[in-house]
Amino acid sequence: MTHITYRRSKAADTQTVFDIVARSVRHLAPVPYNQDVVDTWMVGRVADDYREDCGEQKIWIAELDQKQIGFSHGVPGEVLRLFVDADFAGLGVGAGLMERALLVFRV
């Protein structure tokens, strides 16, 4: 049985969060979108774009066997980000991350 755990982010997660976005965009997005469009999504993005949110523990991290496999970030009224590493799609990770991103609405 797959046991996924969830925790709040820390500054050390910055590069991993960026890498999850890049892998997810590269491997999952081309299915519904044209590759030319997908290729523009990561232009200009860098790991430091996620440093503040990671350091302030605003992001939920999903882990499987201590490997970070997805993340989400919610604020009142909006889920800002939700990405799952393409290698772990279909395991329910996204549903668990969505649930946690929505926790901010129940405060």
**43-87 pLDDT tens trace:** 999 999 999 999 999 999 999 999 999 999 998 888 999 999 988
Per-residue pLDDT of 5-21, as tens digits, reads 999 999 999 999 999 99
- Would you say the C-alpha torsion 10, 11, 12, 17 has a positive or negative sign? positive
Phi, psi (5° rounding) for residue 43?
-60, 125
Q: Give the pTM.
A: 0.87
What three-state secondary structure class fits 46? coil
In the prediction, which pLDDT does 30 show? Answer: 65
Task: Specify the CATH number of the domain 4-106.
Answer: 3.40.630.30
In the prediction, which pLDDT does 32 show? Answer: 74
Domain coordinates in residue numbering, the chain: 4-106
In the DSSP assignment, the letter for residue 31 is T
Contact 27, 41 (CB under 8 A): no
In the prediction, which pLDDT does 47 show? Answer: 96
Taking the C-alpha atoms of residue 91 and residue 3, their distance in angstroms, rounded to an integer, is: 10
